[in-house]
Structure 1
Amino acid sequence: MATPVPPPVTTVNTPLGGGGGTMKQAPTNLPLREVPGSYGLPYLGALKDRWDFFYLQGDEAFFQTRKDKFKSTVVRANMPPAWPWTDPKCVMLLDQKSYSSVFDYKVVDKTDTFAGTFMPSVKYTGGLRMCAYLDPSEERHAALKSFCFEVMKMGASRWMPEFHKQMTAAFATWERNIGKQGSADFKAVCADVMFKTLIKSLMNVDLDTVPEAERPSSGELTAWVGLQLLPVVGPGIFPWPIDDLIFHALPFSHVFTQSGYDKMVKFVHKYAAESLDVSQKFNVSREDAAHNLIFFTGLNALGGFAIFLPTIIQLVGASAPLQAELRVEIREAVKANGGLNMKAMQAMPLVESTVYEVMRFKPAVPYQYARAKEDFILESHDAAYRIKKGELLGGVAPFVLRDPAIFKDPATFNPKRFMGKEGKDLLHYHIWSNGRQSEDSSVNSKQCAAKDLVPFIGRLLLAELLIKYDSFSLADKPSGSFSALSPATS
């Protein structure tokens, strides 16, 4: 278990008057430093950092070397894609205390910072800026996020039965593939499971009843998501100079995924009328609602689950003793509560803690950005830094969620970390959702609207698996593939 939890981290984030004027030191007991690091020569420095980030060092070493060199958890770095027509300069935040500024809306603005130093063309999304790119101060933001909350509320009763239905089909597929090939790809099947679950839960549409010619696929939506984010995420499949030239030198045109996206738009307008109808309640046009519903489903949800759920399988699959403990807890809760229902789910503290620890240990969303809207003083644990109006700030979740000032043995995967009172208190520092897990998402914040749903689906995945199977084993390759599924014996 963690050491006694320190008091809640807060940041001074003291405005320094007007922005751009004479900077005065805010009251603080910490030494005032200039943010260390250099951006290098125009474009060449950014290009060098891009190569280091993706190829020569890798993202983790990219930040660790700067942290070690400057003995600071607040450092300057050029962030990808580092194109000549974009500004790659960022102040990167590697600790809990400084990171909190990224969601301090008194001093930062979130306009068009969802993907960091660039924004994909709005041609990907019907010519509209999606809710994810809006600052909470924009009127459209409150309307669209309210629409999102309402759609999720409407589908609340559909998540568990639909996920169970899709997992039951997935079990048959995995078992068949293990029998034929000796292994089963979790990721590919999981993408289809979540796509169908999302469509049913958010749009109340059973995809199996839709004519095949009109039916969108998880592959089409995944490609649409991936092409938008390729400049900042990878993929690293060719020798690095060639890979960089292909995937990072220029943005990808929306035309490569336009046909699949157009099919999705037509599908939503034709079959998701129940969800679109509620948009009028918030003065959101049906067209705006349709594109945002696709974005919620594809980029916010499916894209995240495609990383998060396989990570659960990878980490839990590596420990037979953990699987045994989880299996006992799950089956006892199900038996005591008459089936896999909400009461049973609430009686699984180890399952809940395990999922939160997966999200801490390998966060699916590694970066969160915001731009300073005025001059202010930002504090880390051991220093204060001058931040100027207009500077882009970037929180690095893999470092923030392994902050040794907060988490005991932060580099160790500890499934019981979030159990008990101390564990619950630690949720204040769990910031995977662009906000604290201990706080509620609202229309006035950029915290993920599904901050509670996402870990719930992770818990549901473990429950479904360990009710059906006594244990599961992973194949040596690729990560996230089953080599064996042992049928339940009790």
Structure 2
Amino acid sequence: MPPGPFISPDPRVVVVLDGKSFSVLFDVTKVEKKDLFTGTYMPSTDLTGGYRILSYLDPSETKHGQLKQLLFYLLKSRRDYVIPEFSSTYSQLFESLEKDLASKGKVSFNDPGEQAAFSFLGRCYFGVNPVDTKVGTDGPTLIAKWVLFQLAPILTLGLPAFIEEPTIHTFRLPAFIIKKDYQRLYDYFYSSGGSVLDEAERMGLTREEACHNILFATCFNTFGGLKIFFPNVLKWIGRAGVKLHTQLAQEIRSVIKSNGGQITMAALEQMPLMKSAVYEAFRIEPPVPAQYGRAKRDLIIESHDAAFEVKEGQMIFGYQPFATKDPKIFDRPEEYVPDRFVGEGEKLLKHVLWSNGPETEHPTVGNKQSAGRDFVVFISRLFVVELFRRYDSFEIEVGSSALGSSITITSLKRASF
């Protein structure tokens, strides 16, 4: 756990190491989630307008229910805009990638992909593309700097240990350095989010607190997830090879054709291989791998092989890939198996945990499962559909970055059937 003077008095944690014991971290009757979003370390609230944001609230706190209900309202009120805005945004992205690929021979996905993701979220949630505001094309950069100031003590940036340990791993980076950058983001959300901020006031929240939470949910939770997950999808599906690409292209195009050429929520449900390929990417490399909880009382936690006593107040930590690659649950756990969740394999979805809860359960105001779980799954499916309705196959080179995979596209084979 992170060192330094601002952590909890006892930085030691109990680590759960398999799929059976991991479930305790989702049971809010057994564990408290207050101020544990980033573990024993919590960033300064100066980075979020002075407010403790929803991610750091325990379900027992009144504000938790209000703020999570507000996110549900935002998602529900804008659901009709998801497909058209995604299709428009990512059509532009793929066309741009094709042009750059043709002229340069290879093209990076990450930077243009992040720009597309943030533009899509602005257009989908608020009907305003941040590129057309004072944020301009700086959105992803502003977010990256802001996230760095929150997570620096728990990130490994690849610097020599003698530099990282006494600097970013020991002291909070001062929030005032990025105050103006954060204000640019805040002004965009405050000016664009009128209807959702009106709803917040009707719920008894201030516009300011609601705005800081909407900003966090959009920029840290959703955009941050897509920044990591979309490159991961390209990595795993790209590495799987032409056979899978052909199967996905055939399934996706056949379903779209049978639905009058339209992409709809119902059409996506008719694509079992595509759905499974997305779930398998969530399983093998969950975008947020760490979860935490503090024991509310003395507990007995059972693993596959034994039972362990955990005392009231102790911190419990789970590194999700220990659970989602548990060999007693999944065959070939270290392999990307794209059809793992097809047919009878759907029974394994209860062990897909990327959203801070099982995929077979649903986010509610009383739990800590991501409010945007269904939204992120949906747009991840749309991403794969938009890719294979255009291309028969693609080739990539994979590198690494501080928060995930770095993807360079070296080939996009246009649809031939």
User: Shorter-chain TM-score category?
Assistant: over 0.9
Distance 2:407 2:135 in 1: 31
**SS of 1:480's equivalent?**
strand
Q: Is it true that 1:325 corresponds to 2:247 in the alignment?
A: yes
Task: Mark the CA change 1:107 to 1:144 in structure 2 (over 3 Å): closer, same or farther.
Answer: same
Aligned match for 1:486, one of 385, 392, 413:
413
Question: Equivalent residues in 2 for 1:60-75 (5 A)?
Answer: none
CA distance in structure 1 between the aligned counterparts of 2:233 and 2:395, rounded to whole angstroms:
13
CA–CA distance in 1 between the matches of 2:234 and 2:137? 29
- In the alignment, residue 383 of structure 1 is paired with which amino acid? A
* Cα distance, 1:409 vs structure 2: 1.5
Distance (whole Å) between structure 1 residues aligned to residue 103 and residue 176 of structure 2: 38
2:192 & 2:43 partners in 1: Cα distance? 28
Report the counterpart of residue 342 of structure 1 in structure 2: 265
Secondary structure of the 2:369 match is: coil
Q: Partner amino acid for 1:326?
A: L
Contact 2:130–2:139 (Cα < 8 Å) also in 1: no
Count residues in correspondence: 408
Q: Distance in 1 between matches of 2:394 and 2:84?
A: 23
* Alignment correspondent of 1:276: 197
> SS at the partner of 2:354?
coil
What amino acid does structure 1 have at the position aligned with 2:381?
Answer: R
8 Å CA contact 2:130–2:188 kept in 1: the answer is: no
Max Rg structure:
1
1:12 matched to which residue of 2?
Answer: none
Give the gaps of 5 or more residues in structure 1: 1-78
- Aligned partner of 1:183 among 73, 88, 106: 106
> Are 2:5 and 2:170, in contact at CA under 8 Å, matched by a contact in 1?
no
Does 1:291 pair with 2:212? Answer: yes
* Distance in 1, Cα, partners of 2:58 & 2:374: 22
Which consecutive unaligned segments of at least 5 residues does structure 2 have?
A: 401-405
Question: Which of residues 11, 26, 34 is equivalent to 1:88?
Answer: 11
Q: Does structure 1 residue 474 correspond to structure 2 residue 408?
A: no
1:392 equivalent to 2:319? Answer: no
* Aligned AA (1:410): P
User: Equivalents in 2 of 1:260, 1:192: separation in Å?
Assistant: 17
Q: CA deviation at 1:209?
A: 4.1
Which residue in 1 is equivalent to 2:231?
Answer: 310
Deviates more, 1:473-482 or 1:281-290: 473-482
Alignment counterpart, residue 206 of structure 1, candidates 114, 129, 138: 129
Contact 1:183 1:475 in 2 (8 A): no
Give the counterpart of 1:372 among 266, 282, 295. Answer: 295
TM-score (norm 2): 0.94
> Secondary structure of 1:247's match?
coil
1:438 is aligned to 2:365: no
Cα separation, partners in 2 of 1:364 and 1:294, compared to 1, 3 Å: same
Alpha-carbon distance, 1:156 to partner: 0.7
Q: Give the letter for the 1:186 counterpart.
A: F
- Identity over aligned pairs, percent: 37
Aligned-residue offset at 1:176: 2.1
Contact kept, 8 Å, 1:429 with 1:437, in 2: the verdict is yes
Report SS of the residue matched to 2:74. Answer: helix
Among 140, 165, 168, which residue is 1:247 paired with? 168
Q: Is residue 115 from structure 1 mapped to residue 42 from structure 2 by the alignment?
A: no
In the alignment, the residues of structure 2 paired with residue 419 and residue 156 of structure 1 have an alpha-carbon distance, to the nearest angstrom, of: 27
Conserved 8 A contact 1:216-1:260: no
Structure 1 stretch 242-251 or stretch 138-147: which is displaced more? 242-251
- Maintained 8 Å contact 1:337/1:343: no
Once the 2 structures are TM-superposed, how far is the Cα of residue 153 of structure 1 from its aligned partner? Answer: 0.6
Using the size of structure 1 for normalisation, the TM-score is: 0.80
SS in 1 for 2:166: helix
